[in-house]
Amino acid sequence: MKVILKNHWVVKPAEATWNGTVSLSEFDQTFAVTHVPTIYYYKYFQDFVTDEIIETLKTSLSKALVYFYPLAGRLRWINGSRLELDCDASGVVFTEAEADAKLDNLTDFLLSPDYNSLFPRVDYTVPIDELPLLLVQLTKFQCGGIALSFAISHAVVDGQSALYFFSEWARLARGEPLMFAPCHDRKLLRAGEPAVASPTFEHLQFNTPPLLNGKSSTENEKKKETKGAMLKLTKLQVEMLREKANQGRSIEDSKERSYTRYEVVTAHIWRCACKARGHKFEQPTNLCICVNIRKKMDPPLPNTYFGNAIVDVIATGASGDIASSPLECTAKRVREAINMVTSDYANSTINFLKKQEDLSIYQDIHAFRNKEGPFYGNPNLGVISWISLPVLGLDFGWGKEIHMSPGIHEYDGDCVILPENEGDGSLTVAIVLQLAHVDAFEKFFYEDIEC
């Protein structure tokens, strides 16, 4: 598929906004300069033409940036190791493009590098203080359908904040007023403040993940060809997994609430990956889990907190044990990792990061410096949940999307669980694995539900 870039605009706030520098929290710092891509596909609507859609998007985006002004700013380094946000209203980049294909040709919507051209290009070679924090691309297909894609700075927002912004932008595009004003107070997570006394926990997320037995680095694993797959779980299949996990709980465990969809589906994914990768029984494996701390803090953060409010935790085990044990055993590992995250744990994480003279201790582990994002490849896995996020129904005035997808991933072990577009309780697992393991993973993924 060939995509031609036709026009570029810099969209700035429609009105004067607060101007100055903002200290980023430690949770913001760990994501450095990476951008998170997402894409929405819309069918052709006869009442709209591309020029009108572009004008609507640009005008409403300009209005949205008045409220969400940090997105129009730029990052800059402090002492070469930490970042701050300069709210200078430099603006965001909006690109118009045209594809030589029809939207119907993309019915599989796989996480394929073939679709890279549908996303805004982020040029990481420019100085960081010139790099936009938000880039938007509207691509028109030959059938009249469009793709609207975003690349948004992970140093400024997490998934919940990004989707909150897209939702409010869409409301403005429809001619409706803003529903909720964002909270920009990053001092709620002690941004720019010194470490304070708090309980200390072990933070496995800052340790180097396990390597394959007998290997001294991940270099060979990173070089292996990967392939993305989007695997659907019907509502019935999800409930079958939950029933299997919850029925197998011990009497002691059964006193707690039943396992959630995320816990059982994540456990299922981890077990299938261990099987598909063909590890030896004793092979150590880590599962990285991303936890939203807004409601876990004391006092809780506002739902409208606009920034990063997520912390990673690690579940560990031997691959053979994960693969051969019943589903409830792995679900219990997932739950125990999630339950570690309390307000004290989050503050301990903040203190740990504040005490690092150079945050590259974290960024290098996860390869943030070279923009690859976290590497959770063989023998490890990272599973992010979008199940409860408002990812569906993004209507800018011409109807809801026919499909949405996370951006292109090429790195072994990346996995996102998201709600299916029909909104019927089914889920989609978007996962990238080494090409040699994809078919086996898909086989176990469906067969093990019935076992």
Q: Among the three residues 162, 189, 216, which one is the final residue of a domain in this structure?
A: 189
284 located within any domain: yes
Measured on CA atoms in the order 290, 115, 399, 426, is the torsion positive or negative? negative
199 located within any domain: no
**Shared domain check, 234 and 88:** no
Dihedral through CA 39, CA 266, CA 337, CA 371, nearest 10? -30
Residue 364 confidence (pLDDT) above 70: no
Structure tokens at 107: 């019915």
Per-residue pLDDT at 361: 45
**Shared domain check, 310 and 225:** yes
Per-residue pLDDT at 358: 63
CA distance 164 to 9: 23
**Shared domain check, 399 and 324:** yes
**Shared domain check, 238 and 125:** no
Place of tokens 């307000």: 343
Q: Which domain holds residue 75?
A: 3-189
365 located within any domain: yes
**Shared domain check, 248 and 154:** no
* Mean predicted confidence (pLDDT) in 351-375: 57
- pLDDT class of 255 with cuts at 50, 70, 90: low
- pLDDT class of 211 with cuts at 50, 70, 90: very high
Q: Which helix (H) or strand (E) element contains residue 429?
A: strand 427-434
Closest CA to 94 of 164, 40, 149: 149
Higher local confidence (pLDDT), 254 or 244: 244
**Shared domain check, 221 and 181:** no
Higher local confidence (pLDDT), 113 or 64: 64
Q: What are the CA-CA distances from residue 139 to residues 51, 54, 153 (Å)?
A: 12, 10, 21
Residue 15 confidence (pLDDT) above 90: yes
141 located within any domain: yes
* pTM summary value: 0.92
What is the CATH classification number for the domain harbouring 184? 3.30.559.10
Residue 367 confidence (pLDDT) above 50: no
Residue 223 confidence (pLDDT) above 60: yes
Per-residue pLDDT at 372: 47
**Shared domain check, 383 and 251:** yes
Residue 380 confidence (pLDDT) above 80: yes
Residue 47 confidence (pLDDT) above 90: no
Per-residue pLDDT at 108: 64
**Shared domain check, 444 and 300:** yes
Per-residue pLDDT reduced to its tens digit, 131-180: 999 999 999 999 999 999 999 999 999 999 999 999 999 999 999 999 99
436 located within any domain: yes
197 located within any domain: no
**Shared domain check, 308 and 430:** yes
Per-residue pLDDT at 59: 98
**Shared domain check, 230 and 181:** no
Residue 274 confidence (pLDDT) above 60: yes
Number of compact structural domains in the chain: 2
Residue 91 confidence (pLDDT) above 90: yes
**424: burial class by Cβ within 10 Å (0-12, 13-18, 19+)?**
exposed
* Mean predicted confidence (pLDDT) in 59-63: 98
Per-residue pLDDT reduced to its tens digit, 296-316: 999 999 999 999 999 999 999
Active site residues: 154, 395
**Shared domain check, 382 and 342:** yes
**Shared domain check, 249 and 164:** no
Per-residue pLDDT at 107: 63
109 located within any domain: yes
Per-residue pLDDT at 79: 80
Closest CA to 349 of 120, 141, 190, 223: 190
Per-residue pLDDT at 253: 67
* Mean predicted confidence (pLDDT) in 33-45: 89
57 located within any domain: yes
Higher local confidence (pLDDT), 272 or 367: 272
